[in-house]
Every structure is written in C-alpha cells, then in structure tokens.
Structure 1
C-alpha cells in the first residue's frame, strides 16, 4: 500500500519542527479544536508523538491514533512518511526535514462513561487521603476511637475522647438540619458540617463495615476539609498535648500533608476526567503527578508513624475484633490498585467470625502495608491470598504473594529500618515493615515472613486470640 495507489481521506504536511504546514479536513478542524493553529505545532498528542518518531528514525510508520474531540472519541488510521534530505524543492522547501501524513480512516464514537463503582472507589481513596480526622464508630454511630493531627480539630478530638460512646453527631453541627441525630448513615454521608474551634467547612464521609448488612460491624468516619488549613490561624495545642506531640515531625506533618493531599485530589480528578474530556497523554501526566504525591504522602505518614512507634510510651488500644472483617476492609481499600495491575485478591471464607484482641485501626494499618507490598512487588496477573486461622491462643493473618520471593538474608533484612532490598523508583520508604512489626509486638503479637527465592513470600501477622466466653 502506498500513496500512489491508495485513496486517502486527507493529507497533511509537517516541517522539521513538527508544525503542521497544511492539512485537509477533518484533520485541520481537529487541530484547531485541540487548541492548535494552522500552521502551528501539532496539538494532537498521539499524532505528535508518531510524527516525532518518524522524523527521528527516518522510517515510514502507520498506526491508529486516538484523540478526544469534545464528547467524542476519535480513532484515525494514519500513515506517516519522512521527507528525504533534498527531496523537497521549490515551493515545497518549507517541508524539508518534516513528514507527509496520509489519513486512511476516521471513526468517531461517544466517550465511554467511567464505571460508577470504580469512580466511587477512586473518590473514596481521595477522601481517605485528604481526611484530617478519622474515627471508628459502632453500628449505632457511637464513637469508639478518634485520631487527628489537624491543629484546628484539637478541641473536637478532646471532646470526642471525653465523650466516648456517644453519637459522633453530638460533636458537630449540621447547618439547616433540625432532624433528630444521628440520622441514617446514608443521609449523613457527604453532609456538610461545622466544627466548633475551626473556621473551615467540613464534609463527613461514612464508610459502612460488615456484611451482608451495611454498617452491621460499625463505620469508619472521615472528616474532609473543604479548604486547606492556613498556618497561624485557629487555636494551637499547648506544648506536650498528645494529639499533636511536640516533635518536629509531628509539627510538620499536618502542614505538609494537606497541600500534598490537595495536589493528589486535583490530579486524580484530572486523571479520571471527572472535570471533562482530556487527551489521554495529559491524563497520564496527571496520573504521574498523583502517584508522586501519594508516594510523598506515604513517606510523611511513615515518618510520623515511626515517631509514634519508637516513642517510650507507645501502646495500642486492644478491643475485640473480627479479623476476617479487617481483611475484607483492607482488600476493599486496595481493590482498585490490584485491579489496575490485574492482580486477583483471594479473601478468607470463614463461616463464623474469627475473634481477636487487638486495636482495629492498627491491625488494618499492618494489613494495608502487607497487601500493598504484595500488590506492588507481585507480577502482573498473579494472585495475592489473605488467609486467617486460629492457632492455639493466637490468630494468624497471612498475606501470600506469587512474587520473586526472598533469600534467608533478605528475610532478616526486610524488617530493618529504611531497608528496601536494593529496590529503587517504587516510592517506598523502607519503613513499612519495620513499623508494622513494632505495632504487632506492641499488641502482644509478632510479624514474621516465610519465603524462598522464586516462590513468593508469606507474611504472617500474629495477634492474641479472643478467649471464648471472656467478658
């Protein structure tokens, strides 16, 4: 097939700077609608990349390119030929060093809508990332635990900790709402609220726990600010206050966390095209920005956690938990990440709850680290299995992957501080497993690994089991 014998829809020419010198319709119109000019730099990202390759390597290339035109997806088959040196003369000399583009096919279709469940999962991940208060609630929405590092939420944290066992709605104000509280969780999820001591507006995010009835095992509550905290405004805690601590890391964490989380949220909005159609190349750029922000935020969280677990008075708040429910929650949080890598998460199938005595939030934190590592370091298309069992007086939660495995020396080193086993570019801090083992031992358990090179790894969290009939 060549230009002399093939009937083409349109033809275009570029120069040595990858500018469109001339173009027929419909390519000319798309160039203008993508923000370009004619003549001017190619404004269609995939076409620009293909022209650059053709010019750089001097090869004739043909393939399908994609572009977004308003609310339509364009698919076009293009054939691009480089201009040979000295082949263009006279009136065509402006095209020397450029390319000739032949358009052989042009298809339009409506932009595919984002899967609603996937979009909801992404939004929940964003809310979790930027939440400035986290609380665990029982099935009646009564407060069980509360954590926050936001300076202007210090008073709220103190009130909630003093009022454990009361509905969380007793501690906030819902403007214009006179209904008896707490209302059904679906009506409160996403509700705007006002908090005494904070000048910012807040949104409540409620995540139901338990199956099959949503909320049967309680709720996770996240308070998300609608505006970032500005240093120097609002009340500050007295030195020595345990909510924030008095170390440099604890002071910097809330200051850095909020702007980074906002960057992640905005990048995710761009990546998922929630704000409108966008060329795939720029969506990929936004994904890179979000990924880099998440890595930085994870590092900040790790450094903050490191400070906590290495403090002399570090302890956990043991409670009766169902480890299968915690495993389900961890898999739900990381399900989108596993899906993106084509990794299947296999969850425990227990006929009855498997009780343990440990702090729910800390067990979830350890499992998120173990499952997240398994997803990150496992080959695409493999499986990650979560298993739960009671052995003697302890409960074991094992995360098994099908990755490269660890040598005996690596199995020892992997729990050391800042140890990443020579990995680079994956965004890890080398603190996750060190922190997780410290947490496990603080709960009266341990974190161990079994592995062989080429046979994957099995990380097992051991925690005290619930004693039958104990009150």
Structure 2
C-alpha cells in the first residue's frame, strides 16, 4: 500500500447528488478503485460515502476521522465533507496506514453501529449536546419535525427522567465521556416514553466529540411486560416524588456537573495549548449549559427545602439597602456582558429590616438577575429602597418588554415562565423568591404592563 504519509497535501474529490464520485485526486481515485469503485460510480469506500450522504442530508459541513480498509491493512483518514451546488466536496487529510484493528479512538463509531442496529431510530450530537443527526423517518413516524431539531439542544427533543436510583445516566456518560444505557425520557412533542442509549464519539485528536445514540420506544412493551405495569398513570405518582428526587440531587448531579464545568472552562481557556476556535466555542457552550443545570439543581434543592412543613428562616437584623448593593455586585459581570447597567442604592443608603440575610440576598439576586436577563442592550435596571407603614421595600425595575396582567399571577407558580421559548431559568426562581419572602414575613409582588418594563417589589418587616 502506498498511502502512508500523513504529511502529504490534502486530497480532494467531488461526490454528486446521486452519491457518485465524479472528481478525485489520484490518491482518492486509487483508494476508491481498490475498494471496487470508479469515477462516475457510487463511492465504494463506505465510511466516505456515509459522510457524504450525511453532509448532503443535513446541508452542513461534516468533519470526522474514519478508518477505511485498504487491502490487508487499514488507513486512517480525516474526511471533511462540505455540501455545495454540485454535490459534496471532499477534502481528505491524514492518510496513515496501520494494521487492521480499531483503536479506542474509533471504538465509539463501531459501538454506535451496534446501538443503531437494535434501535427504533437513531440520533447523534456534537460535544455541546446539540443534535447533528436524526433518522430520516423518525420525525414523521413519531410526531415531531426532525429537520427543526437539527442544531437544537438534545433536551429540546427529549425530556429526561431519573432512573430507579434517582440518577440520570446521560450525566454520568457526559461527565466521564463513556457509554450510557437506560436513560428514561419522553418525546417533548408527543409525551411518548422511550429509553436512550449512546456511545461517545471522539475526534482525530481523541477528544470527546459527542454521542452516537439510539432511541428505544417503550409504548407497547418494556422488558417483555406491558408498559402499564411499570409506568403508573400521572395521578398515581406519589406527592413526595419531588422531595425524594431533590434530596438526591447533590449526590447525583452536583459533583459530575462541577467536573463538566471545570473541564469545559479549562478547554475554553485553552490552558493546555492552542485549540481550534470552534472546539473552544463548544467548550464554552458546555460550561454555560452546565451552569444552567447547576442552577436548576440549586432551585430544586431549595424547592425541596421550602416546601417542607418544618421549614423556618432566621429572624435577624438586615440592612436591605446593603443586601441590594451586594446582590447587584454579584450580577455585575453578567450585566456587563449583556450591556445592561445597574443603578443600585447609594453607599450611604440604609434600610433596616428583619429577615434572614442569606435568603434576602437570594431573593434579590433572583429579581435583579431576571431584570438583567430581560433588559434590552444598553438598558438600565433600577434598584430603589423605600419604607412605608412598617414595611421595608426594595424595588427592582427594568426596561424589558413587560408582563401582561393575565400572566402576572402565573409567573409566581412552579415551573411557569411567560415565554418558555426564551432563554432563561427553570421557572422556579420567582416561586421560590415569593415563598422565601413570605416565610420572612414579607412578600414579592409585580407591577407591569406590556412594553413598559417590569417592577418587582420585595418587602420585609421594617426594623426600628
């Protein structure tokens, strides 16, 4: 075999829309010829043919390492397939020969083939868990728009559930970059239950590049028994399920999420050396998603705590003006990144009240954080303090699009948001903030109108 030098210049080719190799540099032409193909015929190298079809179907550039058979040996290739008007343009580098065996870096591709063979349909993601591939018939058969899901977070397609031990197998797989099985999920579009399995995929440098996954529908049978015997109807779910779930969150999620965030931040900072910018951006997306999940963990732990019948807060002297300044300081970086200014109370302002410092700070971080999130660029968030009739109040006002009167009660309910399509939190923040305020003898209220921003008021008993 004469294709042995990975330092040779890139080899180019063109696959037309019918999957035929119509143009090829000599090395690609020779390799394809040895595989039984020829110019004007379908690509005879299965791995390259698959990537060309994938790039054409998705309409995006696909770049992946493959191992192709070449006589008694194998050749490692890095194939870049980019769709264009005439078909798919190929640029191939690497060309490293080796004995015919599969190293660990390529094991995910082979395991993925076994997963897909037993699945109802298959899916793939990139390293940021954005969907890059769905089986052609999956959306039509199961009631969702497959094309619209491409490029979306995996959680936009699936609502993930915990297993019998209160864990999420996918999080373990993501943290350790290893295979996971038995992830309970439902299709968001239809609510149909299914199980997910996946094996990790690596790039040419051995770095985690996403998952090759399988979806197993469980509408009819699960482990040979009717689903009804294993899946209780919603009204049969115990009322303390949320408590039991939240009680295991720290152990099940916080540690792996912490590792995910730390590693992603390290990759994004390129602390181990230069990295392709798109990979660094993927790492930033992973860290951002990890922090979002960590915030959800915090919210659910708080939810479990405040809904316990024995939940109490401390009765201690606090300065609400000082708490507001501290909360604004904690959100300074986020506001700067969003190009939003925060006008906080002056250093000499004081507003004595009775409550628990930590919980009051939590309430104001939530209110000010929401104001920053929904403010336009170059917008302003105002924080003011007032005292009236034995009540100490902090007002947080923004210049966002406002909240319709019909939605103003709903936003304080669990898991409710005005527009779930907008990026934001879990839908628990305002519910928790109001519960905490009322536990301290105060309240959180809102005054708003569409197009006129929102004005949230946090009150506590005034302290003489």
TM-score when normalising by structure 1: 0.47
Normalised by the length of structure 2, the TM-score is 0.48
